[in-house]
Amino acid sequence: MEQLLQSQQQYFHTGRTRDVQQRRQALQTLIDGIRRYELEIAEALRLDLGKSHTEAYATEIGIVLHEARLALKHVGKWTKARRVRTPLTHIGSKGYVIPEPYGSVLIIVPWNYPFQLAICPLIGAIAAGNTAVIKPSELAPHTSTLLKRLIQELFPPSFVTVVEGGIDTNEALLELPFNYIFFTGSTSVGRIVMQTAAKRLIPVTLELGGKSPCIVHHDADIELAARRIAFGKWTNAGQTCVAPDYIYVHRSQHDALLSRLQAIVQQFYGDAPLLSDNYPSIINDKHFTRLTSYMEGERIAYGGRHDRDSRRIEPTILTDITWESRVMQDEIFGPILPILPYEDLEEVIKAVTERPKPLALYLFSQEKAIRQQITERISFGGGCINDTLMHLATPYLPFGGVGESGMGRYHGQFSFSTFSHEKSLLVQSTWLDIPFRYPGTRHALKWLKRFMK
Ligand code: NAD
């Protein structure tokens, strides 16, 4: 691994990754490769997570193609040095902000969107002119192997490479002097990554998780809310970092929402979701056991059936839930949806703000004042009004967490900025040399006070 990093650093120092035409070419190579491999990518995602081709395309393949095309189109503009103003004290000089690549970056990937979460950061890393090592998740082995094959075919390992393996591999990689670490995964491993990176002061982006609330106010369009919540919760069987973790619904709409959610799940997945081709499975037995244990002793208002052989759990709704219930202690990360009623929005604001800041927040309400109240008073990574998940699918919005849900952001131009150091440069004039800064200048203080107030 040390040799691998050395070869990447050597490659970086040849300057090839910085050349804008080379960056464009690499992005085009990536796009062509993904298009060529589409069926194999979809098959790997089916084998790892039981995703349908449509879901795989919407949430993993299409989304990265869109990102890559955007980067390809704009990379020339993004890389240009930006001229900035200079203050009066700097008269005669010019200021520039010059984006420069960090060097060799390490991208650590989780299992839930094992293709998208490897390629999306890679697009930013390439556009910004870096080399990259990708460490996929060992829990999605088919996608991990496929990523290795795809990247090997497209790029020399000294530019981009995939290192497969588990925790040991990751630990070994984290000990190396990479120039940037981009980590997506759990908050607990995020802490380990940051601690290790701190030893060498390696900058990090941490894309983590947490419990993302979904608030349904009494003035919400319940039919639409139910459809969009069902989409957000049961895409990838709830194994989505920004899935609505739980619902806070105004008591007056509790029963209506519950009944609409049930009808919509039937529309989406039929009477037997466990057999539906459109409904993914749980990643492994450990998570299956963890998730089914959340149902024990709780009131299951809908769903609840599960099959250990296919590792599928029906879309399941739990009611009569409180913050003391087991399901409310950690991020659920599965198809179980607890519903909590509220009377007053203040209760919701209090409950959410006294816990770690969530990665996402969703609010269903028609009223502007309510939207303002929630978005101003609750801190969260990003979210939607009257929708779920869709904020992450636009490259024009930064995507990332805050507090325990992460630090840093990416997508679109934000990815380029994440993987670039903004070098500042002041180009001084030689025809003018204002004397106040030099010791011994007469009336220096008087002049300084005039310019610097
Ligand atoms: P994870 O933290 O267990 O694993 C992520 C990566 O870290 C994997 O590549 C794994 O090999 C490695 N790893 C695991 N344990 C490690 C250790 N002790 N030391 C070093 N490396 C280790 O996360 P996961 O289970 O793969 O993914 C689920 C979590 O990721 C959820 O919390 C979810 O919310 C979060 N997530 C966040 C985003 C986001 O964009 N913010 C996206 C997807 C998932």
Banded model confidence at residue 1, pLDDT cuts 50, 70, 90: confident
Per-residue pLDDT at 88? 87
Mean pLDDT within 413-425: 98
User: Would you state the pLDDT for residue 424?
Assistant: 97
Task: Determine the average pLDDT of the residues in 64-75.
Answer: 97
User: What's the CA-to-centroid distance between 247 and ligand 1, angstroms?
Assistant: 24
Partners of 420 in the beta sheet? Answer: 101
Pocket of ligand 1 (CB under 6 A): 108-112, 117, 135, 137-138, 166-167, 170-171, 184-186, 189, 192, 207-209, 241, 331, 333, 359, 401, 406
**Whether the predicted pLDDT of 310 surpasses 90:** yes
Q: Is the pLDDT of residue 453 over 90?
A: no
Mean pLDDT of 240-265: 97
Averaged pLDDT for residues 260-269: 95
Atom of ligand 1 nearest to the CA of 210: 34
Atom of ligand 1 nearest to the CA of 135: 9
- Which whole number is the average pLDDT over 349-362? 97
Q: Nearest CA to 208 among 290, 66, 108, 303?
A: 108
Question: Which CATH class name applies to 2-208+403-425?
Answer: alpha beta
Mutate to test the pocket of ligand 1, among 119, 175, 186, 286 (most ligand atoms within 8 A of CB): 186
**So what's the pLDDT on residue 447?**
86
Q: What percentage of the chain reaches a pLDDT higher than 90? A: 93
Q: Is the pLDDT of residue 437 over 90?
A: no
pLDDT(154) > 90: yes
Residue 48 in tokens = 């790892």
Give burial (CB, 10 Å; 0-12/13-18/19+) of 282. buried
Torsion of CA 61, 418, 209, 217, to 10 degrees: -90
Question: What pLDDT does residue 17 have?
Answer: 97
CA of 64 to the centre of ligand 1 (A): 20
**CATH 3.40.640.10 given to domain 213-393:** no
Residues in the chain: 453
Identify the band that residue 451 occupies on the pLDDT scale cut at 50, 70 and 90.
Answer: confident
pLDDT of 72 strictly over 90: yes
Instruction: Establish whether domains 2-208+403-425 and 213-393 are of one fold.
Output: no
Query: End-to-end alpha-carbon separation of the chain, Å?
Result: 54
Give the mean model confidence (pLDDT) for residues 420-437.
93
Task: Tell which atom from ligand 1 comes closest to the C-alpha of 331.
Answer: 32
0.75 surpassed by pTM: yes
* Residue 448, pLDDT above cutoff 90: no
- In the chain, domain spans: 2-208+403-425, 213-393
Q: What is the dihedral of CA 253, 258, 262, 268, to 10 degrees?
A: 60
Which of the residue ranges 154-158, 178-182, 224-228, 441-445 would you say has the lowest mean pLDDT? 441-445
Burial of 218 (0-12, 13-18, 19+ CB in 10 A): middle
Q: Is residue 277 predicted with pLDDT exceeding 90?
A: no
Does 124 have pLDDT greater than 90? yes
Tokens of 121: 């950061």
Ligand 1 atom showing the smallest separation from residue 189 Cα:
2
Q: What is the CB-side half-sphere exposure of residue 206 using CA atoms within 13 A? A: 24
Q: What is the enclosing helix (H) or strand (E) of 247?
A: strand 246-250
Is residue 450 pLDDT above 90, yes or no?
Answer: no
Output the CA 295–ligand 1 centroid distance in Å: 24
Give the burial class of 261: count Cβ atoms within 10 A of its Cβ; 0-12 exposed, 13-18 middle, 19 or more buried: buried
Q: What is the pLDDT of residue 30?
A: 98
- Given pLDDT bands bounded at 50, 70 and 90, which one contains residue 434? confident
Residue by residue, DSSP assigns 141-169 as HHHHHHHHHHHHHHS-TTTEEE----HHH
- Asked if residue 311 lies in contact with residue 279, where contact means CB atoms within 8 angstroms, the answer is no
* SS3 assignment, position 336: strand
Average pLDDT, the chain: 96
Residue tagged active-site, from 60, 207, 314, 331:
207
- Based on the residue annotation, tell me whether 207 is a catalytic residue of this protein: yes
- Model confidence band, residue 145 (pLDDT cutoffs 50, 70, 90): very high
Kind of pairing between the strands at 213-216 and 360-364: parallel
Measured in whole angstroms, the distance separating CA 264 from the mean position of its chain's CA atoms is 27
